[in-house]
């Protein structure tokens, strides 16, 4: 298990993908690493490659992160503070998501040519009418009238 003083060194940076070498214990997957000036760069461990290397993805811009930069293991997963304001937004978002799902379900039913008129929308085009209006070829798309299987 990783401790708070476990440090590593950046081996490579490719965009937001960062490879880090640890001489001590490897941090577990999904643990958070800190790097850069004032530890502003946050990296989440995605994979353990071998006994000394991990690959992580930077959750913040990697500007200023270079090979040899010291990385500190925080010893735990990513955490977000949860207060009364955030919980109310989560509940409101849940109800909005349910409303979107209900609307999608109603649109799906209207595609099946059921007569559902909700929210004052015009009736949807039936799928059979839509597909019968698309021109198609009976001989596999070739312009000549002979089939390739003759």
**pLDDT tens-place string over residues 7-57:** 999 999 999 999 999 998 999 999 999 999 899 999 999 999 999 999 999
pLDDT of 6 strictly over 60: yes
The strand ranges marked E within 59-150 are 70-77
Which residues neighbour 107 within 8 Å (Cβ) at sequence distance 6 or greater? 124
Average pLDDT over residues 130-149: 55
Evaluate whether residue 91 is within a structural domain.
Answer: yes
Residue found by looking up tokens 């595609």 in the block:
111
Answer yes or no: do 54 and 93 share one domain: no
Q: Is 21 exposed, middle or buried (0-12, 13-18, 19+ CB in 10 A)?
A: middle
Average pLDDT over residues 86-110: 62
Q: What angle do CA 4, 10, 13 make, to 5 degrees?
A: 130
pLDDT of 134 strictly over 70: no
Answer yes or no: do 105 and 62 share one domain: no
> Domain tally for the chain?
2
In which domain, by residue range, is 65 found? 7-77
Which residues neighbour 50 within 8 Å (Cβ) at sequence distance 6 or greater? none
pTM score, whole prediction: 0.54
**pLDDT tens-place string over residues 59-74:** 999 998 999 999 999 9
Average pLDDT over residues 101-127: 58
Residue where a domain terminates, one of 60, 77, 94: 77
């Amino acid at each position: 298990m990783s401790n708070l003083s476990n440090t590593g060194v950046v081996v490579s940076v490719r965009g937001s993908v960062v490879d880090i070498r640890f001489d001590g214990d490897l941090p577990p997957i999904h643990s958070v690493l800190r790097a850069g000036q004032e530890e502003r760069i946050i990296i989440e461990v995605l994979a353990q490659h071998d006994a000394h290397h991990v690959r992580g993805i930077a959750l913040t811009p990697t500007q200023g992160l270079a090979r040899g930069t010291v990385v500190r293991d925080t010893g735990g997963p990513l955490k977000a503070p949860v207060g009364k304001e955030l919980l109310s937004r989560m509940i409101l978002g849940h109800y909005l998501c349910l409303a979107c799902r209900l609307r999608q379900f109603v649109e799906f039913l209207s595609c099946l040519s059921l007569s559902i008129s909700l929210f004052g929308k015009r009736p949807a085009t039936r799928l059979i009418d839509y597909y019968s209006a698309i021109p198609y070829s009976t001989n596999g798309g070739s312009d000549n009238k002979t089939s390739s299987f003759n």
